[in-house]
Structure 1
Amino acid sequence: MRILGISAYYHDSAAALIVDGDVVAAAQEERFTRRKHDPSFPANAISYCLQNVGCTPRDLDAIAFYDKPFLKFERLLETYMSFAPAGFSSFRKAMPLWLREKLFQKDLLLREFRKIDGGDIDPKRLLFSEHHFAHAASAFFPSPFTDAAVLTMDGVGEWTTSSLAIGSGNDLAIEKELRFPHSLGLLYSAFTYYLGFKVNSGEYKVMGLAPYGEPKFAQAILDRIVDVKQDGTFWLDQTYFDYCTGLTMTNDRFSNLFGQPVRKPDQLLTQFHMDMAASIQAVTEEIVLKLGRSIRAETGARHLCLAGGVALNCVANGKLLKERIFEDIWIQPAAGDAGGAVGTALAAYHVNMGQPRRIRPNRQDGMSGGYLGPEFSQDEIERELRVAKACFTTLSDDELINATAQALAEGKAVGWMQGRMEFGPRALGARSILGDPRSAIMQKMLNLKVKYRESFRPFAPSVLREDVSEWFELDCASPYMLLVADVVASRRRQMTASEASLFGIDKLNVPRSEIPAVTHVDYSARIQTVDREVNAPYHALISRFKALTGCPVLVNTSFNVRGEPIVCTPSDAFRCFMGSEIEVLVVGNAYLEKEEQDPGLKLNYEHAFELD
């Protein structure tokens, strides 16, 4: 049985294909169009998924969409009516698009499918799932748990902003929900906007900025803006926000409360902004922990699954795990809207069609390590590189691992493209830029000369699964880079009194451990554990680096520059290589060094993409 899942028309459009209950292919549209967070109909992602199994839309048993447009339209109308006459300008801009396209999304989807070969499909095979049910399904059905509570948190779906579902076998049902406009995702996005970052893109910057500050404004947020109950449910005072009716997230009352206007994107980040980031992060963690405790107490569930955009807050996830509220937690790696494509397809298979669920042995999940995107044969790789006029050497597997590990040990930045592309926002060793974590200058160099982004942003460590507890305060798998834990005390460096007294961004250049490039200013790290069975080439590379250096850790950041989607093809990888200060490129078994390339092919990627 083949079911195609689709998420589209808001942000992070994606497609996923389920065959007999297994996720066999999934990709975001942005990777093909090179437009970050592309919201359009995912024609390229759909074509990839269908080609992966050699079928056309006519061969599908069902096509499932990740939300219900009529319910969303109802929410928009009721919201505008509740706040009228405020918000008329926003209403006037939104309605023509809804009346022309979004309200009649079924017809729109059918028209788009007709453009695909074999896409004249029976309308009865087109199914619609509620947004948060799709999130819940994406979290529970691929999880390694037979039974679990499922917590979803994001901005807003149709009406729901957070939900609690209970999953058992192939059954899944939402038990409780919080509704718009009271939203943890929108609260965090409001502070993202206030701090001068792009909403639905820059939230992770707020999380990365938080450790540079102190949560001085957390109590003011709790006293004036959000009323958090003991069970983690909450109420937002809408007099501070503008997202219901306006074109911005916050209003003047919000700015007046904290004493500063909205930061402009090019404005210098100050200690105030860092303290504000720390404050909203602290409030978010408090809400997540309270929700976790109340869910455990009310349901008795031993396991928890998470999805929705807020589940990408790996700091909150790490604290939830550390509290041991649940025996284990599992987080959908594509927790945002892209993952809704997986969830709606799985919901159609297990819930609508009543198909049984298979639990995999050894607590394996159903996401294949996240490696669900396109891959390229060595012939295809070499053909694309030749067209791009690249100079490369084809090495054997052992030669490739040895040469790459040696380059990393010499402090070089390496672009690494192997196997199937990752699904979700994290590079997991298939489309990654790698570096030596022992280097005190690696973080700054990668941020400023390779990624062309803000210097404060931290990098993640990839560590051999068998060695994780020797380097970090974590003794479980974290394959999707969605858990934060501290570097173990024995690996930390004792700071001097003057270093310890530093504030804000001045903390950045103080080495804090044996692996300073991946140790944040609070000694934390966003960890990816690498398992030999899941990604053999990447595991082999880190193992060889360990043999050379004694360190089983690499710096791992996504293979792109700021504002660019992660690379998909060998051509994408070569362009990014030539447009940045990456020194070595490895694509399949092709090994490229920057100094051997034609200088005339060099590109300037620093300003090539819109800032994120």
Structure 2
Amino acid sequence: MKILGISAFYHDSAAAIIQDGVIVAAAQEERFSRIKNDPGFPSKAVEFCLHYSGIRLSELDAIAFYDKPFLKFERLLETYYSFAPSGLGSFLQAMPVWIKEKLFLKKILYRELGKLGPLDKRKVPLLFPEHHLSHAASAYYPSGFEDAAILTLDGVGEWATMSLCRGSGKDITILKQLDFPHSLGLLYSAFTYYCGFAVNSGEYKLMGLAPYGNRDGADCRRMVEIIKTKLVTIKEDGSIFLHQENFGYATGDRMVKDRVWQQLFGFPRRTEDGPLDQRYCDMALAVQEVTEEVVMRLARELKELTGCENLCMAGGVALNCVANGKLDSAELFKQMFIQPAAGDAGGALGAALAAQYIYFGKERRVEFPDAMHGSLLGPEYGETDILPVARKYNYPHRMFSDPAELTTATAKLIADGNIVGWFQGRSEFGPRALGARSILADARSPEMQKKLNLSIKMREGFRPFAPAVLAEEAGKYFELTSSSPYMLLVKEVKRSRQIPVPADFEGRGWADKLYLMKSDIPAVTHVDYSARIQTVDKRTNPLFWQLLRNLEAETGYGVVVNTSFNVRDEPIVNSPEDAFRCFGQTQIDYLVIGNYIFGKKEYIVQSDT
């Protein structure tokens, strides 16, 4: 059975294809279009999935779209009606688009798909699972669990904003659901907006800013109290009630009512390029604490409802790896699986899997440890793709016929303080670089975080970098007892590796906390001694694993800085052309692509060819 899944028309469009329950390919449209969070129809992603799988459109058994547009339209109408006359302007702006286009989504989908090849609508049904079912399916079915509790959290789908489910065999049962406008995801996005970051893409910046807040300071404690008394009521089971008189997202084009929030908190919304002071750090920490409390309560409720030992998570809030790390440490569940493409992109995969197991009722395939294949599900490129681009850019290079020699040479470059662009195999599905399209650097370097942020990534200096570590060695560096293959858990650096901060540390401004040495792996140690960890397994990514082994032999450390191969406001590189362009425009020292190392320093021109 061959099923194509699609997510589109909101943000982060994607396509995925499965065959007899096996995930064959999945990719986000942004990687091809080079438009960050591209919301359009994922024609290039669909084309890639079909080409890679060797399946024609006409051979598909079904096409699944990740939500139900009519339910979403119903929610919009009921919301505007409930808040009338407030939101009239927004209503008049939104309705023509819906009436002319979105209500006829089936027609649009068939039209766009028809551009890619012949398609008989009578033989290939178009299915529409609900948004949160797609999220739940994206997490449960690829997990290695026969039975699991499932928690999905995001901004909003059609009506649902969070769901508590149970997966058993091939079935998913929804146990509880919270509906719009009450949403943990939208609460977090409201603070993303107020702190001057872009909604639906800047939430990870807010999470990275939070540790710069003064946890025990009066301002942070005051903000937590304001959130929990004026903005949101948190119930024992983790459900929440957002006080809509303080928000604008239900019927307007802004997340919050700026004047109301300025009165509540005592300071204005930060503009995108405005100064970042301690107030916004404390605010980020306050909403992060509230988020963690809600997630923990939901997990306890889910445990009580299901009695399951395993937990699956998806939805945009599942990318909050700080909350995930604390949930993991609480040991409510023995094992956790978080969908690496937890946001809307993963909905494409979930829709296809829901069609396979729920609509068609096929027996479920269970793969261990999971069926995501390291999330390395995108395009791959061979020498015939690389060499024409290499000739175009004409950088000095060396070819290695032996992968062991390639990883040894790369490890030596990293150990010598160089920054390396690493482009190998199939690209990652999801927002994280996992050792296929990565920028790598020495975790031991005190200067590396600053250099990477300002000279390579061209982004805010407060943002941390993640470590990739040999799975079997992770416990030597981090307070981690489980695995974290998809960089979705935050844990502390090992206490024995931490360097005490000065006595006046908490009273300092965030900028004064930035570049203090906090451990013997400072480039991957955040201001609160935390790290967003990727454990690298030999079975999943053998070449990347071997590189880390060689780096350990070279330096004594089997850990490396691993950040996405891109610059600010651009998608992660996808093709050799993308990689060479990014390499040339930044201060990356070397590009390792396929069997070649390209350099900007002359001594690399020792060639075997």
TM-score by length of 1: 0.96
Deviates more, 1:389-398 or 1:198-207: 389-398
Specify the SS of the correspondent of 1:399: helix
2:451 corresponds to: 445
Runs of 4+ aligned residues of structure 1 deviating over 4 Å after TM superposition are 498-501
Deviates more, 1:377-386 or 1:539-548: 377-386
Separation of aligned partners in 1, 2:72 and 2:502: 55
C-alpha contact 2:141 2:366 (8 A) present in aligned 1? no
**Shift of residue 498 of structure 1?**
4.5
* Cα pair distance change 1:515/1:14, threshold 3 Å: same
1:390-539 to structure 2, matched below 5 A, reads: 390-396=395-401, 397-499=403-505, 502-539=508-545
1:279 counterpart = 2:286: yes
Specify the SS of the correspondent of 2:264: helix
1:354-369 to structure 2, matched below 5 A, reads: 354-360=361-367, 363-369=368-374
1:377 corresponds to: 382
Separation of aligned partners in 2, 1:476 and 1:287: 23
Q: Which amino acid aligns with 1:161?
A: T
Deviates more, 1:391-400 or 1:172-181: 391-400
C-alpha contact 1:110 1:123 (8 A) present in aligned 2? no
1:159-558 to structure 2, matched below 5 A, reads: 159-214=159-214, 215-216=220-221, 217-251=223-257, 252-360=259-367, 363-396=368-401, 397-499=403-505, 502-558=508-564
C-alpha contact 1:382 1:590 (8 A) present in aligned 2? no
**Shift of residue 124 of structure 1?**
5.4
2:607 corresponds to: none
Separation of aligned partners in 2, 1:98 and 1:120: 26
Q: What per-residue deviation string (whole Å, max 9, x for no partner) do you get for residues 407-429 of structure 1?
A: 10011111000000000000000
Q: Which amino acid aligns with 1:279?
A: A
Q: Which amino acid aligns with 1:387?
A: K
Separation of aligned partners in 1, 2:330 and 2:525: 22
**Shift of residue 255 of structure 1?**
2.3
**Shift of residue 487 of structure 1?**
0.6
1:602 corresponds to: none
Separation of aligned partners in 2, 1:594 and 1:389: 10
1:105 corresponds to: 105
1:122 corresponds to: 122
**Shift of residue 219 of structure 1?**
1.5
TM-score by length of 2: 0.96
C-alpha contact 1:431 1:567 (8 A) present in aligned 2? yes
Separation of aligned partners in 1, 2:535 and 2:444: 18
C-alpha contact 1:139 1:331 (8 A) present in aligned 2? yes
**Shift of residue 380 of structure 1?**
1.6
Q: Unaligned regions of 5+ residues in structure 1, if any?
A: 598-612
C-alpha contact 2:147 2:167 (8 A) present in aligned 1? yes
**Shift of residue 391 of structure 1?**
3.6
Specify the SS of the correspondent of 1:364: coil
Q: Which amino acid aligns with 2:186?
A: L
1:603 corresponds to: none
Q: Which amino acid aligns with 1:395?
A: F
1:151 corresponds to: 151
Separation of aligned partners in 2, 1:202 and 1:506: 23
Specify the SS of the correspondent of 1:497: coil
C-alpha contact 1:113 1:121 (8 A) present in aligned 2? no
Q: What per-residue deviation string (whole Å, max 9, x for no partner) do you get for residues 487-535 of structure 1?
A: 1111111333345653423111111001000001111000000001100
RMSD: 1.2
C-alpha contact 1:48 1:374 (8 A) present in aligned 2? yes
**Shift of residue 539 of structure 1?**
0.5
**Shift of residue 298 of structure 1?**
2.2
**Shift of residue 401 of structure 1?**
1.0
Q: What per-residue deviation string (whole Å, max 9, x for no partner) do you get for residues 272-297 of structure 1?
A: 00000000000000000011111112
Q: What per-residue deviation string (whole Å, max 9, x for no partner) do you get for residues 73-131 of structure 1?
A: 00001111111111111111111111111111001101111111234543751111100
Q: Which amino acid aligns with 2:386?
A: I
Aligned length: 595
Q: What per-residue deviation string (whole Å, max 9, x for no partner) do you get for residues 332-391 of structure 1?
A: 00000000001000000011111111222xx41010000000001122211222234444
C-alpha contact 1:435 1:555 (8 A) present in aligned 2? yes
Q: What per-residue deviation string (whole Å, max 9, x for no partner) do you get for residues 117-151 of structure 1?
A: 23454375111110000000001000111001101
Q: Which amino acid aligns with 2:67?
A: D
2:77 corresponds to: 77
Q: Which amino acid aligns with 2:261?
A: F
578, 584, 596: which one pairs with 1:578?
Answer: 584
Q: What per-residue deviation string (whole Å, max 9, x for no partner) do you get for residues 130-182 of structure 1?
A: 00000000010001110011010000000000001111010112121000000
Q: Unaligned regions of 5+ residues in structure 2, if any?
A: 215-219, 604-609
Q: What per-residue deviation string (whole Å, max 9, x for no partner) do you get for residues 564-589 of structure 1?
A: 00000011000000011111101111
**Shift of residue 253 of structure 1?**
1.1
* Cα pair distance change 1:11/1:525, threshold 3 Å: same
**Identical pairs, percent:** 57
2:133 corresponds to: 133
Q: Which amino acid aligns with 2:287?
A: I
C-alpha contact 2:144 2:371 (8 A) present in aligned 1? yes
Separation of aligned partners in 1, 2:595 and 2:346: 31
Separation of aligned partners in 2, 1:298 and 1:16: 32
**Shift of residue 300 of structure 1?**
1.0
Q: Which amino acid aligns with 2:227?
A: I
C-alpha contact 2:591 2:598 (8 A) present in aligned 1? yes
C-alpha contact 1:7 1:338 (8 A) present in aligned 2? yes
Separation of aligned partners in 2, 1:47 and 1:369: 22
C-alpha contact 2:13 2:30 (8 A) present in aligned 1? yes
